[in-house]
Amino acid sequence: MSRRRHAIVFLCVLLGLVGCGIKTPPIPPQSAIPAPIEDLVLKVSVRSVTLSWTYPEVAESGAELDKIRTFQLFKSEVVENDYCSGCPVQYDPFITLSADRGKPGSRVRYTDSALKPGYHYDYKVVSSAGWNIVSRDSNRISFAWENPPRPPTDLVLDVADQGLTLHWQPVQELSDGGVVSGSILYQVFRRRAAGKFERIGDPVGAIFYRDEGLRNGEKYFYKVRALHKVDGTNLVGEDSDIVAGTPRDMSPPPVPERFEVVATTAGAELLWEDVGGKDVAGYKIYRRRAGQKEYVLVGVTDRRSFSYVDKSLPAGKTTLYYALTAFDRATPPNESGFSEEVALVR
């Protein structure tokens, strides 16, 4: 080989070493690479799961991001019996989502209904700001999927003053007839006559729920969902039937204490004092004859009346015994206990 040819070859090698010739892919600057997503979370529904995360606002350098183009969601599906919690996860690219409709700081959501009972699932997500400008992996979501539990049955409401207590039968089967293997929790939902159902309280392990601080006379509607806890994830069952109830005043007025009777030409005149209850609607007068055990209602007055004349006295000489109660404005009204008896000898 001539000296001239050797020189040409040497020059080409030298130029290749200093960057002339084949080029490697450029490494994007830190100011362009999106910061990794750290708040990937999971919400479980009856037949699906919804994954959500925050649209990145900054790059790894801390600088404000110009734009995110896509999100790529990765999914792993493994038979539960073959799942190894400490083993590396083999992900497959699952779906690419356009980021055009989102904006930095907003929540991005994706619902996956392609789930199989008896499988374990893992998810992660990355964001891309352009070719080869891809974030590091997000946090990992991992859970086991089973058939959801059956809905609770035989819902019953007990009425109370400013409250209602809901009871139901325990859920012991899954939707496919299988036996529940983990723990069951119950989520209660309530709505008013005009409105939508809203979750009240946290899930409970008991088969009853006391709903207090309600408005007497207003109708409330309830339903319950069973949550089957498997591998730390609550799998959500179908809604129960809806039941409705109306809380009401259950507290009777005070028992009348000062009560007397006098004989007049018109009959037996009964006199008493106001019992002082704020919601008293009136008074009821009862009578029994000597030798009788049960009272008979002989008169009713409103709350402004504190006397009553019993004109329907039985014929003949006998001793009559009277008692008084107060009742309130509730529907149906609450009635106090009987006052002490007063006697009229005829």
* Predicted TM-score of the model (pTM): 0.65
Check residue 234 and give its pLDDT.
Answer: 82
Please give the pLDDT value at position 333. Answer: 92
Specify the pLDDT at position 15: 43
Residues 6+ apart with CB under 8 A from 220: 164, 190, 191, 192, 211, 214, 244, 245, 246, 247
pLDDT digits (tens, 9 = 90+) for 222-242: 999 999 988 778 889 999 999
Query: What mean pLDDT is reported for the chain?
Result: 89
Dig out the tokens for 322 from the structure: 């009277």
Query: What fold does the segment set 26-145 form as a domain?
Result: Immunoglobulin-like (2.60.40)
Q: What is the pLDDT of residue 20?
A: 47
- Give me the residue label for tokens 């925050």: 54
Per-residue pLDDT, averaged over 292-296, amounts to: 95
Strands of the sheet with 296-302, listed across from one edge: 296-302, 280-289, 319-328, 342-345
Q: For position 27, what pLDDT does the model report? A: 54
Range from 9-13, 249-253, 335-339 carrying the lowest mean pLDDT: 9-13
**Fold for domain 156-245?**
Immunoglobulin-like (2.60.40)
The mean pLDDT of 115-133, rounded to a whole number, is 92
Q: What is the mean pLDDT of residues 96-113?
A: 92
Superfamily for the 259-345 domain:
Immunoglobulins (2.60.40.10)
- Three-state secondary structure call for residue 15: helix
Nearest to 217 by CA among 262, 172, 161: 161
For 80-104, the pLDDT digits (tens) are: 889 998 899 999 888 999 998 888 9
Give the residue with greater pLDDT, 132 vs 69.
Answer: 69
Q: Measured between alpha carbons, how far is 281 from 92 in angstroms, rounded to an integer? A: 73
pLDDT at residue number 120: 94
pLDDT score for 261: 96
Residue 105 backbone class (left: φ over 0; alpha: ψ -120 to 50; beta: rest)? left
The per-residue pLDDT for 18 is 46
Instruction: Give the residue-averaged pLDDT of 200-224.
Output: 96
Chain center to CA of 86:
34
pLDDT tens-digit series, residues 7-53:
444 444 444 444 444 554 555 666 689 999 999 999 988 889 999 99
d(CA 111, CA 46): 12
Strand, coil or helix: what is 81?
Answer: helix
- In CATH terms, are 156-245 and 259-345 the same topology? yes
Domain locations in the chain as residue ranges: 26-145, 156-245, 259-345
